[in-house]
Amino acid sequence: MAQPPNIPTPSVNPKKVLPKKEFYVEDQSATSTKYTLIQIKEHLFTGKSEYQKLTIFDTWDYGRMLVLDDSIQTTEKDECIYHETLIHPTLLMAPNPKKVLVIGGGDGGSIEEMLKHKNLEQIVQVELDALVIDVAKKYLLGMNKGAFDDPRVKLIIQDGRKYLEETTERFDCIVLDLTDPIGPSAALYTTEFYKTVASRLTEGGIVSLHCTAWQLFPIITNVIYHTLKSVFPHIRILSANIPSYGMELAFVHASVTTPVEKFDPKQFATNMQERIKNPDALDWVDGEFLQTAGSFIPKPLKLVLAEKVPRLSTDANPVTFEEFYPWNVD
């Protein structure tokens, strides 16, 4: 698999030219030639926990925006694309989900989408960083709509991997709402971790996660996909563009026993009507989208997945961006 080209860093860097109080600039490229540039309306919060730096901006184009360690996580404008694509296919393909688990997702967007499913009885959310939860409750209500206060939600502040390794509970669906495999998050993308996830799913259970920006970082997507496939034989993948990320993101839904790749597309619309309180209230996903999204994979993404995997991600040798796409971020 080809490595990124060795292209010299451009002499003009927007991060060094534009005033930081007025613009948020994110370097997204291994060659330092792609930036996300967003104009700031108001700087609402900056803090640092023992795990990461956290910033909340109000922006003109995307509304309120959560940034962790100088990386955009979510915005009010387009969070629906990410969260609805991550959550609803998972719950709609599962046989009869009653109890589900979210690892990460401290902004509350994932559990807010889950609460739209009237048959769910309990949502367990395990988030490592309490500061993310506290800030989300104060500044991101437009996104999570107070979902943390719903009686069906059980919030646990703990390392997600440690929780799964120690719990005896089993879940009908497990959603891994994670940052990219950078630093500590890399431990949540390994074969050993995926085996633990599989052991905590009920019969027919489904796991979902994103496997990064496949156009910019095809090697990472390839490794995550094949590592997941080494544990979960049934996989369904789709791609969605997230405007604030400035890129296409790959989403994966996987199962040990449920053939998600052969899921009847027409069943999505039926299950939406039966399981979701108000399907018309969804901003991004509908029956027609779900019928086509999982069955249509862009040719370039097919080529990415067809490439020989460099290796699987393991605890001894976890995949990281730094390994395949090293670059310096000022």
Residues 200-239 as b or e (16 or more Cβ within 10 Å = b): bbbebbbbbbbbbbbbbbbbbbbbbbbbbbebbebbbbbb
Question: Other CB atoms closer than 10 Å to residue 129's CB: what's the count?
Answer: 17
Tell me the residue type at 39: Q
Q: Which helix (H) or strand (E) holds 304?
A: helix 299-306
Asked if 125 and 105 touch (Cβ cutoff 8 Å), the reply is yes
In b/e form, how buried is each residue of 17-43, taking b as 16+ CB within 10 angstroms?
A: eeeeeeebbbbbebebeebbebebbee
* Residue-wise burial string across 143-177, b where 16 or more C-beta atoms lie within 10 A, e elsewhere: bbeebbeeebbebeeebbbebbeebeeebbbbbbb
The set of catalytic residues is 177
The pair of three-digit structure tokens given for residue 299, joined into one six-digit string: 């040719």
